[in-house]
Amino acid sequence: MAEIRFYTLNAAAGSARLRQACVLTEQAYLAGQRVLVWLEDAQEQARFDDLLWSFGERSFVPHEPLAADPAAAQVPVQLHSGTLPEGTASAFDTLVMLRAEAVPEVLRFASVIEVLDADLACRNAGRARFRWYREQGATPQHFEVTQ
């Protein structure tokens, strides 16, 4: 079963959620993990791509869009929006889940990171996913992030 970690921010607006996801993505990358960041849509993917270049003065997270063959790609962090191709989970250690809807494919990853901000819609969707993970037999962990 996937290890699932929820990180909840007290900030509600702007790009705080995506910035925190950048920090967690960088931590996973520095720990030697292959990471897939699954975003809501192409616009959010472009914003996240830009943030990965600028979220920290000394940060460098090599990344690219999801490769046709993710397991063969040399870049350890890949970004995607839309439906996941079959077998994608086996190419990654960690999924950074930034989508609103829970889907069974998520449970195929060894580790799942969820980031929620104080926006009511984001929190409600996160609560629904938290319950869904429990219903699937997972034991999600929760962490408060203070900024």
Report pLDDT digits (tens) over 10-23.
Answer: 877 668 899 999 99
- Give per-residue pLDDT as tens, 44-97: 999 999 999 888 777 789 999 999 999 999 999 999 998 999 889 999 999 999
DSSP secondary structure letters along 23-44: HHHHHHHHTT--EEEEESSHHH
Judged against a pLDDT cut of 70, whether residue 5 lies above it is answered with yes
Q: Is 62 helix (H, G, I), strand (E, B) or coil?
A: coil
At 74, list the tokens: 């040399």
- Average model confidence (pLDDT) across the chain: 92
Give the pLDDT of residue 146: 80
pTM attached to this predicted model: 0.94
Q: Are strands 111-116 and 3-9 parallel, antiparallel or unpaired?
A: parallel
d(CA 123, CA 69): 34
Kindly indicate the confidence band of residue 147, based on its pLDDT and cuts at 50, 70 and 90.
low
CA angle 52, 53, 54 (to 5 degrees): 95
CATH code reported for the domain at 3-145: 3.40.50.10110
Q: Please give the distance of CA 127 from its chain centroid, rounded to a whole number.
A: 16
Residue spans of the domains in the chain: they are: 3-145
